[in-house]
Chains A and B, each alone.
Chain A
Amino acid sequence: MDSMTESAPAPVGAAEEAPPSADVPAIALEGVAKTFRTGREEVAAVARTDLEIAQGEFFSLLGPSGCGKTTTMRMVAGFEDPTEGTVRLKGADVTRVAPDRRDVNMVFQSYALFPHMTVFDNIAFGLRRKGVPRDEVRRRVGEMLELVELSGRGRTKPGRMSGGQQQRVALARALVNRPSALLLDEPLGALDLKLRQAMQIELKRIQRDVGITFVYVTHDQGEALTMSDRIAVMNKGAVEQLGPPREIYERPASRFVAGFIGTSNLLSGTVSDASGGLAAFPAGEEGTVRAATGAAVGETVEITVRPEKIALHTARPDGAGTRSRVPGTVSEVVYLGSATHYTVAVDTGAQGGTELTVYTQNSAGTDDGPARGDRVWLEWGPEHSYVLPA
């Protein structure tokens, strides 16, 4: 009944408005900043940020707790007024537009389902507010329930559902409105690992099927890497690096990004030899790190090398060559079935010591690898010594 009596004007940024050309970003932040003032205290939650998120993109905001991910997202949804800057949805300035007039929908971390309504009414809520006719509401909610595999559960109250089911209701409640962008704030945070992995695949499938822009907040780097088209790594309210997962993983723009994405192996030293575009610095007893960089003798360089790129030898590898070779002592062995993770302590002389992580695949026929306390040699090609920008 209420679907007939209520009809809201089309939200700002809705697809019905002047058809935007494909290259207008779904979401654009222009110099957006947010400072919270509580009493005399000031918290700069988000520093001036520029971001453009393309239509149909799966975009992730990744960063440690308190880095401003939620605040950024809440400014896009309209729950937080930016202290400065402009928020655009499909080109239209929505900086001062109320959340109910913005064509984006949010999936809250705590789901925020309406406990007094059935699952059906939860999902129908947005459509009814928009004045969608009754039978269309029924049809679209039905389709959504099917999409999230909850057909037949429409009459249940959300309080009687499992965490994963509630999560899917929250997703359906937002998706059913076909917004131009869906904002998901750590939507899988409350789920256990198994369910989480299943939902990651599910979310990605749904996003491909409906073709809606997803902005995904997470502090789980694995999740961001597997699902995203592009990732923005945030630190202390600022975007440290923006790019596709592979680029972020293999060419981190800073020490912070290298450390936050996956396991980072950091080594630094003063260049002792430079020739033919290769710089070398010593590491450990008789060890050498080589990297493809134009750094001159005497300069300090810092490199990172991915754990899976390192080969583990029980004896010193033969020949000179251009590869990095670093000796160390195994301090930890974690056997994971298909792979083994080693932690190797490297004595880096002046800097004391560091630990490098090495992942090896356990292929058939190999006997037991090195054990704790064994002396080993680590080896990797110069192309895998990624030099961090100074």
Chain B
Amino acid sequence: MTDERRPRLTARAAPYLLVAPAWLWLAVFFVVPIATVLSMSLMSGNLYDGYSLTWEFGNYAAAVGAYWEQIARSLVYGACATVLCILIGYPCAYWIAFRGGAYKNAYLLLLLLPMFVSFVLRTISWKALLADQGIILGTLKGIGLLPEDAYVLNSAPAVVFGLAYNFLPFMVLPVYAVLERMDHRVVEAARDLYAGPVRAFTRVVLPMSLPGVFAGVIMTFIPTSADYVNATVLGGAHNTMVGKVIENQYLVNNAYPMAASITFVLMAVLLVGIFGYARALGTDRVMEASAR
């Protein structure tokens, strides 16, 4: 072995050495927990006698059988909240990016300001706002615009609105990032080529901003469908989402394998959903989204 080989070897190893901390991080904080939960989901036993890995695939059937309703409800609520986030967040991002002028950053800060307050606290204040005799409903009832028995709390819309409210910035920010970088000349080119303002938007701005919407959907749909705080605080007993079920199984019933298998069912459904969604949107868009 000659002397000049040595530096070449280290040069080849350098990239691997450099990414090693990242791999280690992933291994410790992602792979290990996932593996733990996965093996837990296939165990049987109870808290007092201990759990043992018995490849209990029946856990999954039991989880789906018992809680398919909550799982489905979570997905529906998550989807509704995500759609709501798009409907509110897209115009918001558009306005800041195209009309914000010199105050863009101020508007963004305003949007993020509620995020400085604890998530749970925000949801609870939302509860106070929507209370049957609270500021909004109370006033409307007072001036006779709503019947006395009208309510919002403890209903599905309350949960969906709460979710949309809490996760709105996760939609606005990626959409804003794409719109902000968009070349205005491209929009002008569309106007120049006989597209009115609406056509210019639907044919050029919207398609070009889809990568941002894609990222926003992932960043709102996943946490909203797994959330349980909103459902607990705003939804009452009849609107339980799967996050609450997992919490109960884990902390109240101590049914660890059950909690783990519900977790995996949810994860699987979300992953399938996202891949299907990516396929439908076209892989190059997703590549674009991740490349930006």
New A-B pairs, 9, CB < 8 Å, besides A78-B192, A112-B188:
A8-B196, A11-B194, A79-B191, A100-B193, A100-B194, A114-B190, A115-B186, A116-B208, A130-B194
For B192, what are the chain A residues with a Cβ–Cβ distance below 8 Å? 77-79, 99-100, 105-106, 174
Q: In whole Å, how far is A306's beta carbon from the nearest beta carbon of chain B?
A: 38
A-B contact pairs, 9 of them (CB 8 A): A77-B192, A78-B191, A105-B193, A110-B183, A112-B186, A114-B189, A114-B208, A115-B186, A116-B208
Q: In whole Å, how far is B193's beta carbon from the nearest beta carbon of chain A?
A: 4
Cα–Cα distance between A8 and B195 once the two chains are bound (Å):
9
Contact B208 A115 (CB under 8 A): yes
For B207, what are the chain A residues with a Cβ–Cβ distance below 8 Å? 116
Smallest CB-CB A-B distances: 6 pairs: A126-B193, A112-B185, A129-B194, A112-B189, A99-B191, A100-B194
Contact A6 B199 (CB under 8 A): yes
Contact B193 A129 (CB under 8 A): yes
Contact A173 B193 (CB under 8 A): yes
Query: For the complex, is B286 an interface residue (Cβ under 8 Å from A)?
Result: no
Contact B190 A125 (CB under 8 A): yes
- Which of chain B's residues 191-220 have a Cβ closer than 8 Å to chain A? 191-196, 199-200, 203-204, 207-208
For B208, what are the chain A residues with a Cβ–Cβ distance below 8 Å? 114-116
- In this complex, the member of A8, A106, A112 whose beta carbon has the largest number of chain B beta carbons within 10 angstroms is A112
Q: Which residue of A lies closest to B193 (CB)?
A: A126
Q: In whole Å, how far is B65's beta carbon from the nearest beta carbon of chain A?
A: 45
Q: In whole Å, how far is B210's beta carbon from the nearest beta carbon of chain A?
A: 8
Cα–Cα distance between A112 and B194 once the two chains are bound (Å):
15
User: A79-B188, A116-B208 are known contacts. Are A125 and B183 too (CB-CB below 8 A)?
Assistant: no
For A106, what are the chain B residues with a Cβ–Cβ distance below 8 Å? 188-189, 192
Contact A100 B189 (CB under 8 A): no
Q: In whole Å, how far is B291's beta carbon from the nearest beta carbon of chain A?
A: 11
For B196, what are the chain A residues with a Cβ–Cβ distance below 8 Å? 8, 98, 100
Query: For the complex, is A241 an interface residue (Cβ under 8 Å from B)?
Result: no
List residues of B whose CB falls within 8 A of some A CB.
183, 185-186, 188-196, 199-200, 203-204, 207-208
Query: For the complex, is A177 an interface residue (Cβ under 8 Å from B)?
Result: yes
Contact B204 A114 (CB under 8 A): yes
Query: For the complex, is A256 an interface residue (Cβ under 8 Å from B)?
Result: no
Cα–Cα distance between A172 and B185 once the two chains are bound (Å):
17
For B199, what are the chain A residues with a Cβ–Cβ distance below 8 Å? 6, 129
For B194, what are the chain A residues with a Cβ–Cβ distance below 8 Å? 8, 11, 100-101, 126, 129-130, 177
Query: For the complex, is A359 an interface residue (Cβ under 8 Å from B)?
Result: no
- Which of chain A's residues 1-58 have a Cβ closer than 8 Å to chain B? 6, 8, 11
Cα–Cα distance between A11 and B185 once the two chains are bound (Å):
21
**CB within 8 A of A108: which of B188, B195, B200, B204?**
B188
Contact with B along A117-161 (1 / 0, CB 8 A): 000000001100110000000000000000000000000000000
Q: In whole Å, how far is B89's beta carbon from the nearest beta carbon of chain A?
A: 21
Contact B183 A112 (CB under 8 A): yes
For A116, what are the chain B residues with a Cβ–Cβ distance below 8 Å? 204, 207-208
Cα–Cα distance between A183 and B46 once the two chains are bound (Å):
78
Q: In whole Å, how far is A74's beta carbon from the nearest beta carbon of chain B?
A: 9
For B191, what are the chain A residues with a Cβ–Cβ distance below 8 Å? 78-79, 98-100
For A100, what are the chain B residues with a Cβ–Cβ distance below 8 Å? 191-196, 200
For A108, what are the chain B residues with a Cβ–Cβ distance below 8 Å? 185, 188-189
Q: Which residue of B lies closest to A129 (CB)?
A: B194
- Which of chain A's residues 324-382 have a Cβ closer than 8 Å to chain B? none
For A114, what are the chain B residues with a Cβ–Cβ distance below 8 Å? 186, 189-190, 204, 208
Cα–Cα distance between A126 and B194 once the two chains are bound (Å):
6
- In this complex, the member of A8, A11, A99, A126 whose beta carbon has the largest number of chain B beta carbons within 10 angstroms is A99
Q: In whole Å, how far is B206's beta carbon from the nearest beta carbon of chain A?
A: 10
For B195, what are the chain A residues with a Cβ–Cβ distance below 8 Å? 100, 125, 129
For A77, what are the chain B residues with a Cβ–Cβ distance below 8 Å? 192
Q: Which residue of B lies closest to A121 (CB)?
A: B203
Q: In whole Å, how far is B183's beta carbon from the nearest beta carbon of chain A?
A: 6
Cα–Cα distance between A154 and B215 once the two chains are bound (Å):
30
For A105, what are the chain B residues with a Cβ–Cβ distance below 8 Å? 192-193
Q: In whole Å, how far is A1's beta carbon from the nearest beta carbon of chain B?
A: 13
For B189, what are the chain A residues with a Cβ–Cβ distance below 8 Å? 106, 108, 112-114, 173
Cα–Cα distance between A110 and B199 once the two chains are bound (Å):
22
Q: Which residue of A lies closest to B191 (CB)?
A: A99
Cα–Cα distance between A130 and B194 once the two chains are bound (Å):
7
Contact A99 B204 (CB under 8 A): no
Q: In whole Å, how far is B201's beta carbon from the nearest beta carbon of chain A?
A: 12
For B183, what are the chain A residues with a Cβ–Cβ distance below 8 Å? 110, 112
Q: In whole Å, how far is B184's beta carbon from the nearest beta carbon of chain A?
A: 9
Cα–Cα distance between A295 and B206 once the two chains are bound (Å):
67
Q: In whole Å, how far is B43's beta carbon from the nearest beta carbon of chain A?
A: 49
- In this complex, the member of B189, B194, B204, B207 whose beta carbon has the largest number of chain A beta carbons within 10 angstroms is B194
For B203, what are the chain A residues with a Cβ–Cβ distance below 8 Å? 125
For A112, what are the chain B residues with a Cβ–Cβ distance below 8 Å? 183, 185-186, 188-189
Q: In whole Å, how far is B198's beta carbon from the nearest beta carbon of chain A?
A: 11
Q: In whole Å, how far is B245's beta carbon from the nearest beta carbon of chain A?
A: 42
For A98, what are the chain B residues with a Cβ–Cβ distance below 8 Å? 191, 196
Contact with B along A72-107 (1 / 0, CB 8 A): 000001110000000000000000001111000110
Q: In whole Å, how far is B13's beta carbon from the nearest beta carbon of chain A?
A: 36
For A174, what are the chain B residues with a Cβ–Cβ distance below 8 Å? 192-193
**CB within 8 A of B185: which of A6, A8, A110, A126?**
A110
Cα–Cα distance between A176 and B203 once the two chains are bound (Å):
19
